[in-house]
Structure 1
Amino acid sequence: MLFSKQDLYSKFDFVYTDLSQIPFNSFMLSEISKEVNGYCFIQESNGDLCSYLIEPFKSWQPKTYSYLTNGEFFYAVKTTPYPGVIGDTTQLGIIVGNKVCYIQYTPYTYEKKTSRYPTIPLEILNSWLYRAEGWDMAESTVIDIHRGVLPSAVTYSVSPIDSIIGGFTDKTDKALPQYTEFLESKFNHPFRQSYHIKEFMDDKYFELRCLLDTRLDGDWGKNGFQLFVSSHNTERNVYVVPRTDVMQIKKLSHPAEAIDSYAAHLLSGKEGEFDFLQYAEDF
């Protein structure tokens, strides 16, 4: 279940909304954790997170922008129960209405190196991933890096289609023949059937990587919509799989508009599931 504002305050020990009052040096964090901590957003933005993180949405994701501009940034801390063993848990994010979003920091942003992610739509790179590694709707005190309900470069990097779609591979982690045949026919390109067999490590094989998955954390059923990007995709297309049914894969005709409308739907708190198929077309 998605976190409400009340959940945020009940699950974390401290929630700072006055970002100038965060005692960052008092938290138990490793040096590596400090380098990728959301607090770096505050330092890099000189305290103006709205201009730094939200303003890039204005031209590229206008519906989402209209909700984010009414949000309140926070920095949350959950104190470790095992000092000296594991560090504190921290999250920087934004509260929009009664919804809570986490924003992941990386020093390796699209803004700094625009050659990164050559297959993801430019509208997504220039908004969601311009200065962040990814966004996600909060469901717990930590983020599941393997999939999220909002665009994430982390999910894209670590989650090929076989890790998202149940029953996609056989016992040797090789794609089932029916999926291989279908995808190779659909995309007119050899498909990477395995990440463990040397034969398929060649760059000639294409792969599908997850950009977002509308299912909530812990739901691995045949539900929701899964959005993928092809590794051999100079057109920067986005493909949607409904209810994990790969055989029904379609192309989003206007992916940026679809994702913008979907995110606005989530942030608005509207009931019901957003239907990506209204933007889908056969290919």
Structure 2
Amino acid sequence: MKLVRFGEAGQERPGLIDTNGDLRDLSAEVADIDGAALAPETLARLAALDASTLPVVNGAPRLGPCVGKVGKLVGIGLNYSDHAAEAGMDVPSEPIVFLKATTAISGPYDDVQLPAGAEKVDWEIELAFVIGTRARNVSKAEALSHVAGYTIVNDVSERAWQAERQGQWTKGKSHDTFAPMGPWLVTADEIADPHDLGMRLDVDGERRQDGSTQTLIFGIDHLVSYLSTFMTLEPGDVVTTGTPPGVGLGMKPQVFLKDGQVMRLEIDGLGVQQQTCVRQPST
């Protein structure tokens, strides 16, 4: 299934995309696409519905982030071998973990803010997985059974704030709109192999990133197991798994986002998202 949330920001309703590409309203079935809706028994009930009997949503409503009420948004850094090489850094021996503020989450077609005073805002296409059942100290063998589905996250990053302002990466990753999510959550049963997905990002129509999850250093099963030893992963938590090469930081000379530029992101089987960069005025 392709599960979505549609409507104005803060007032999104649950929906699904049927086999014809039509948006159907799920409001009579679940309150939201959130942790409660991602339980295996609820997903099974939704999958058993005859989508043609659900109300069609006419027009072109805004698509919001495909998961609501996200409790934790966890990031993994330097998780592609070719991206580590691009950054001139050693392949990590363990996953590099950081947190993004959940207030950074935005819709897949919402504008991305370039904060006043920020000059090194960068793009990062990432495969994200969403937890469906609580994971605490789980083994790699059972890890994927805790994943409800997959989506795209643009891990937008202000590099100066991330690396030049002391402390942890979180403050370079957490500004409002720095985590566009969607367009939809694709349930895990529809993704045959999350470790074999092509991923592409363009800026103003120019290809910047063209990679594959085949070069992930730590796979989804490893990450679920690893993270669950340090924190309990709850239904609706989102983990974004790293980016392939082609970020602005790695270019020579470095290139960063400017007002009015358009990013387009696509991962095989997970759809397309697109954002326009908008410079925020000084206060």
Under TM normalisation by the shorter chain, which class is it? under 0.3
Structure with the bigger RCO (C-alpha within 8 Å, sep 6+) is 2
Structure richer in helix, relative to its length: 1
Structure richer in strand, relative to its length: 2
Question: Normalising by structure 2, what TM-score?
Answer: 0.27
Report the structure number with the largest CA radius of gyration.
1
